[in-house]
Amino acid sequence: MKRTYTLVGALLAIVAFGGAVYLYQMDNQLRGGALDDAMEAMLKRTDVDAAIVARAILENHRDTRQIAALWSSLYWGFAWGAAVLSALAGLVLKVESFIPEEKLKRDIAALLTVSAALLVTVSTSGDFQRKWQANRTAAAELERTGYAFLERNGEDPRAFLREVGNSLQKRHLAILGTTESRPPGAPASSTK
C-alpha cells in the first residue's frame, strides 16, 4: 500500500513539474525579439543619454516579460493541475479495475481532491493571476514606450523616463491591488 502511495505521489510530482516547465517554455517562446534588437542598436550610439534611456527601457521590458512568464506559468500550472487532480479523483472512484481495494481507492481520491483544493487556494490567495496580468500590462506599456522612443530616434531621451516610471508604478500598484497613487516626491500618507 505504501508503494502505491509513493507511486501516485511521484507521478503527480512529475506531471506538475512537467506541466510547469512546459507552460513556462511555451510562454517564453511566444515573445518576439524585434524590440530587443532595435534597442540594442540604440545602446551602441554615442549619445550617452539615449543609450541610458534605451538600457532602462530594454532591461525593464525584459524583466517584466520574464516575470509575467513566471506568474503566468504558476497561475495556469496551478489551475490546470487542480483540474487534472480533480478529474483523477473522480476517475479513481469510478473506475473499478484501476484499484480494486475500496479503502485505498477512497484514500487516493481524497489525497487528489485535497491536493487540487490546495493548488486553487495557493493560487488564489497568492493572487497569481493579478501578478501575471500586472506584469503583462507593464511589459506591453514598456514595449509601446520603446517603439515611441525608436520612432523619435532617441530625440529628447530623458522625457521617456517618466513613461518608464509610470509603467512600473502602475505595475506595482496593480500587484498590490490598490489604486493609491501620489505625485512624485510627495510624502507617504501616515496612518494612525
**68-114 pLDDT, tens digit each:** 999 999 999 999 999 999 999 988 888 877 778 888 888 989 999 99
Q: pTM for this one?
A: 0.71
Percent of the chain exceeding pLDDT 70 equals 76
Least confident of 104-108, 114-118, 134-138: 104-108
Q: Return d(Cα 128, Cα 70) in angstroms, integer.
A: 10
CB neighbours of 103 closer than 8 A, spacing ≥ 6? none
What single DSSP character describes residue 189?
A: P
* Residue with cell string 532602462: 56
Under 8 Å CB-to-CB from 65, ≥6 apart: which residues? 31, 135, 139
Q: Which residue, 76, 61, 68, is CA-closest to 134?
A: 68
**Higher-pLDDT residue of 11, 136:** 136
- pLDDT range class, residue 22, cuts 50, 70, 90: low
Q: For residue range 159-189, what is the model confidence (pLDDT) as tens digits?
A: 999 999 999 999 999 999 876 665 555 555 5
The 10 Å Cβ neighbour count of residue 169 is 14
